[in-house]
Amino acid sequence: MRPHIHTLTCNLLWEKTLTFSSWEAGRTQRALTESFQGGGKGINVSKMLTRLGVPNTAVFLPGGATGTDCEQWARAQGVVCRTFPVATPTRVGIVVRAPGRPETTFLGPDVPPDAAAVRACAEYVDGLPAGDLLAVCGSLPGWNTGVFEPLRAAFSRWQPRGLTVADTYGPALAWLIERPLEWVKVNRAEFETLFTGKYPPLSMPERLAAAMARWAPKAWIVTDGPRPVWFAERGSPPTSVVPPVVAEVSATGSGDVLHACLLDAVFHCGHPLAVALRLALPYAAANAAQGTVADFSFANLPDFRSAG
């Protein structure tokens, strides 16, 4: 049975991208173009799942006018949304691009959700049908506080009834890896923080082996931009897959595109994780080769449903 996928975003982002011919700090500059999108890892995963034709629901916590903009944008992309409004406006992000300059992102401060929204979200998790899949995506500001206790408890109740994957970091990651998740997807910098002060210097295969031995998830997927993706699952040695080489325009959201494709390839098409990674990486590379998230052409990319 193919699970319905629910993506959870607790740190939504109102994101404006400005493109300049050039820019310098300390001067007033006028952009050539601007564009808007609702941001956050779960929103990106849901947008890509929707493009793949995978039934999913984006669960997020919008606040104020910026949150309303994000929700309207997501619905306009065809994403099915379940929202739990918060009192504080959704944070703002500005992406700055110019030829020959590294893409630069300015983010507003994280906005911890209020107790009422967290309780409502916890009730939603408690109501999920058995066998569905919950993808916990992005940061969860305030995770270790009492505000999040209802959601932590709901996650614990959910674990025996359905599937859970995570692409998060910080306190939420430290809590979740004590649970038997289907997998943890994490970037290399965040993965390496788990070993700070606890282990001697280790290679990536050694770190993955240590992670499999120490923590409960059934598999780990560690991304590193355009560099090899390392992964490990129970019963198999750690290994890596090299992504296709592309002329990168923006890496933003490419990890989320990869995650969406893995969810489709594994849970809807039945591919082993190693095969799913090889099928999914060309999609992530295609995303990095253009400027917005999950808007690239699928021409000449693998078809998960016909691939063997």
Euclidean distance between CA atoms 187 and 190, whole angstroms: 6
pLDDT band per the 50, 70, 90 thresholds, residue 305:
confident
Q: pLDDT by residue (tens digit) across 130-185?
A: 999 999 999 999 999 999 999 999 999 999 999 999 999 999 999 999 999 999 99
| Residue 87 pLDDT greater than 90, yes or no | yes
| Residue 96 pLDDT greater than 80, yes or no | yes
Class for the domain spanning 5-22+32-288: alpha beta
What is the Cβ-side half-sphere exposure of residue 287, based on CA atoms within 13 angstroms? 28
The sign one gets for the Cα dihedral 37, 42, 44, 47 is negative
| Residue 27 pLDDT greater than 90, yes or no | no
The pLDDT value recorded for residue 92 is 96
Long-range CB contacts (within 8 A, 24+) of 63-69? 63/12, 63/87, 63/88, 63/89, 63/90, 63/111, 64/88, 64/89, 64/90, 65/89, 66/14, 66/90, 66/91, 66/92, 67/12, 67/14, 69/14, 69/36, 69/38
The pLDDT value recorded for residue 146 is 97
Q: Which residues contact 283 (CB under 8 A, 6 or more apart)?
A: 48, 257, 258, 261, 296, 298, 301, 302
The pLDDT value recorded for residue 266 is 97
pLDDT band per the 50, 70, 90 thresholds, residue 102:
confident
